[in-house]
Structure 1
């Protein structure tokens, strides 16, 4: 079996590996692929460097500029939101908004003032009409009550005489004169409310000006954008049109390609060693040597037989496009796999510092992060698929690319933008606005004298000494006396209706009375905000720079890459495709299901043969007098 497998291995793979004919030998084909790949890279360097250095690129960067400006706008909006959250500006905005809402609710002509005015007018009428209503009720109950309801009539008459009066404090004498005094005291508070309403109307511009604080907050992003707009335009023009910058970028691009070419040349030199005669002789001697060691030969054959078919089936069908969108799926799979490894390694960093047996270098983690950024570029899909019909830039446009080398090339431009951002004067507009708002509050100081506590207490108690006028009216109606109907209706339209509106008037007075507290809260929050403004601005700027530096870097890099629009791509695809074919077709195609099955069978047979030999030896030791040992 070992001899047979050795010949199978030799005839299937010896020529397929080391033949000098690239149509047959995998190493020769891979070597030719690397040569073509290197030539394609040189062409790319020559084309790109020449056009970038001479500023002859015809690429329209308007879309890239629009995207970059949109990213800047979004970044500034995020900075504004972060500043509002960090500085707790919402505390000031909410306090001012509550104060403005309450003040505007009590302007002349508002619903609140209309209800207070109606209550004021109705109270006048009730105070003047209540004695007449009470007298009419008692007279009718005294003279017209049926005999069978005389007791109920007497109770209602006594209740009307004693308690159907405007409620006064215990220190006041309960007579009609004092009822008028109470009414005038409450009336004075109602008139005071109307007077304050008129003052608010006169100072309404000051109330409205307080919205300037919200305006300053909400326009923060726009003001910063306006301050750095000149630097943004200069930076973009420098990136897109400056010969010096373009020459620097051209040298960077050339440096990248030279490094790749050097790597490919090293690989090509190593492969070329595999196809020289000396290696061929060593290979043949190795095959002959394996004849003497059948077990080693069987194991060495099983390894490619077992894994070659799987590799050819699962990997090559993606790279060769037999699987729909195979290269793209392969890129995504590799990226997700490496990302999982990266997260696992990064998660182990806090614990690894305490471990003596497992150490992870943070520099290695950063290297993995950079590798992930490049893999996210979807290079396999770009080169093997999209380069067939698209230029280089459009082929790589579906990926994301962050290169430290490109970052060095545009670092000066980006640092200029960051310095311009840090120099924006954010404090002064806020301090001017805060000062103006405090001055407006100073002109609204008359609201500090608002005090409706007495009116609140008076309105919170029933209008008359009869706590439940509705129940009193129901008892009157239950007498079924037609002579009482006019008096009952007058009572319902007057005191009962007015008493039903007390809860609403109470709520309005409580809200009106909250104006001084709301104003003091807004003033205190403004002063506190003014004290912490500088710290909040500095912290927000630092966080904004740290958060958006990588994002802006990537956008500028994409703009740089967009200038590579006329880089040739077809030759790069052909070279890469030849390299894939050298592995997936020339070398791995023989590893089909048959040879994989054969390797798996060998894997099972080796332990079986060893077990059988051991079992036979054991049997011979235990059966020493077996007939197998007898002489014939």
Structure 2
């Protein structure tokens, strides 16, 4: 009754309005969410996943043996060109080429810078000019019989030693030329492989760049899409604010209310059980009393007959039975004192209907989620509008960052790839021609080597040292002829090949010193960063940045695989901290609810009237005396009519009057029959009554403790509701909002880390630059430099090869005139007066 009144009072005070205000507290708690951590862990939200970096093609290139002479060639070029990178000189040409090319000071500066190359070029020109002239005069002299053209060889004591010295000198020189020729073949093949692979490697590099440029906008979209997920999750939580927040508020009450409700349920069960036992007890008492009354009537009738019999004059010794007859009575009344008061107390408690009060309290708390849902519609709608504004702010990120520039670069790369694909067949044809020409050059040099080798092989093989020079074998003569052929070929091709060496040397050497070397040590990028070198090329202003942005810094960051945020100084375009500052989005909600007064009444758990009834019930249960009825039951149970019947039989045995004897025995039989009825009828009723009393005694013994527990827990629950209801609503509301904000804070932290540390890692950009350097410098330029260096190597050693071959050839060729040296005395066909030296 008390709870019912409490419920009605609650409804009169407009419980729905109170809960609307209570949910206002929930949103007001948003202002405290930044400083007060949640007291309970929030449900797991949608965890943003880390960005997946795109897969790039492996572009390590093919090792074609391009670096086998790199150290040697680079050492030579460093000797030829020890000057540093001419940054200032190139800037002068870049700013005003027409004026600078006619400036004598600038020209002098250029010549001074290229002094090493000029000296080498002068040596090459001198070689180109002198080699055909010397060959022409040598040929003319030989035709005139001079310079070894005369087929006569003077025989001296040191001729064999001189021949051996010339032989080994020519042999070593030929080996050196052969080594250079092998390097020519190898460098030519390396250059061919490099050119063939360069198109594939370049396409792979451009594909990696295209993949990177396509991945960056996708990663930005991924960050924005994660905000959609977070916003959607929070919106769903707001839509389910009733079940979620209502359940949490219920949990706050259940810790105290559930024990109290459980104790009331136990009290109701015990009251019902007590009432049932009382009904059963009353029924048993009525039934037992009826049986006892019948028993009394039967016993009284038998007692009267016995009394008449023993008072007959013919009854011998019958007066001795008079004392036992006086005891033969069953005047018993089975009653329980205070049972009526106890029954009245039970009836009052039952009339209070504890079940209905429990149900009302349960229904009230079960309706909390629906109340929250109904009373927060407007607040949820306004909050969802605020979420849409948050989403719009985050979506602005893709507009503030110039991602369209990446699309333009991607289009340019696509056009470049198309152009590369279109010119690749022409490049392949040109490369095939170049390779064939270089192979021809290698083969011509090899021809000289072969001639020398054949001469060095056939000459000694067919030579008889002590034989007359005019009688030398054809084998030896062929060896000498091959040596002369090698020298002749050398004269014919060396100056032309030196021209090739000179042109390739000027091209490849300057490309290495002006492009590859500064590219490798970073000076080239620093030079490109020079202000004014490329008109209107300023990355900072082009991207809308305040600070200057250089290619060197970009390459350095990309080499470390840094994100675009730090590489391109995007923090100057977007204030990420402000954009992802969740607290600023809560100001509008704070303004709506910061002045709201909260008055949330509590429910009356048990009214004072019900508590008084329970106290009276407990007192009556304690006052019920079951001892008397137990004694009465024991008295009935102790009745034994068989004893009196036995005495009647004994008395009948001593009678002489058969009529008296018959009467006494009949009366004894009636007593035994009555005893049988007692045992079969009344004793089971007594046992049942005793069981009921024992059950009732047990419940009555517990009622006092149960009532005390009910009153204690109900009082504690009532105090808890009176003092903590508002605080529970505030706490649970704050926790709910803290969880929603925690989702946004988690997203903001993830977005901040992702954008500043993971998004657009530009390692592929540095990889593309490095790949271009490898293709151009490490493969093509190094192979080209190795080729001209090997060819020049051969051309230089052609000079000693010509000298040694021509001189050695006379020791193997068949002479036309004989000159014999024997025992240190020169013997001639025509005696002379004195020795003549030839």
Task: Report the TM-score when normalising by structure 2.
Answer: 0.34
In the superposition, the TM-score normalised over structure 1's length comes to 0.44
- Give the number of the structure whose alpha-carbon radius of gyration is greater: 2
